[in-house]
Structure 1
Amino acid sequence: MITEHALLPVISGLEEDFEEAFDQARLIIASMPGFVSLSLSRSIETPSTYLLLVKWDSLEDHTVGFRGSAQYQQWRELLHRFYEPFPNVEHYELVNSDAR
């Protein structure tokens, strides 16, 4: 399993609209093969910045499956207009974890 990590810099003043659009977009990504889970968090210090974490079964489920799909075009139409600058996306493999 891998984790997609993206800091989403939303244009100031459009946060509420972004959150509404994301509520629709999350249904798109959640329907994709290899999707495991996602979380969207809003920065306390910089309220126009969001942290998106998406868990995928494999890197290819995201980079080939999702990004190469027609559903990704719907995702883009809903969300990409909110970003300035465009987010940097990285993928991570779990090395260690702990929980209470």
Structure 2
Amino acid sequence: MILEAVLLQVKQGLEEEYEDAFRQASVIISSMKGYISHELQRCLEVNGKYLLLIKWETLEDHTVGFRQSNEYKEWKKLLHHFYDPFPIVEHFEKVRLS
């Protein structure tokens, strides 16, 4: 399992509109091959700051399957104009502790 983690900064005053658009975009992401789950967290200290966490079965499910799909074009159209600056996407895997 891979965890995609993204810190998002939404343009001031567009937070409510962004959250509505994200609800629509959630239908897109949840339909993709390899998708496990996702959540969007709103920062309490900084207005317009969000943390997006998406679990994928494999890295390629996100970087190839989703990012190269027609569904991604719709995702991008719904959400990307809200971000300033444009976010950095990072991927993580669980560390075995025993």
TM-score between both structures, scaled by the size of structure 1? 0.95
**Aligned-pair distance for 1:95?**
1.1
Give SS of 2:37's match.
strand
In 1, Cα distance between equivalents of 2:82 and 2:11: 6
Residue 47 of structure 1 and its aligned partner are, at CA, apart by 2.2
SS of the aligned residue for 2:87 comes to: coil
Q: Structure 1 residue 68 and structure 2 residue 30: aligned? A: no
Structure 2 spans left out of the alignment, 5+ residues:
none
Matches within 5 A, 1:10-89: 10-89=10-89
Q: Distance in 1 between matches of 2:6 and 2:48?
A: 14
Give the count of matched residue pairs. 97
Amino acid across the alignment from 2:6 = A
Secondary structure of 1:41's match? strand
| 1:9 alignment counterpart | 9
Amino acid at match of 2:41: S
> CA shift at 1:96, angstroms?
5.0
Moved over 3 A (4+): none
State the Cα deviation string for residues 37-75 of structure 1 (Å, max 9, x = none): 001000000121000000000000000000000000000
Rounded to whole Å, the distance in 2 between the matches of 1:47 and 1:30 is 26
Amino acid at match of 2:38: L
Any idea what the Cα deviations from partners look like across 1:75-99, whole Å, max 9, x if unmatched? 00000000000000000001158xx
Unaligned runs of 5+ in 1: none
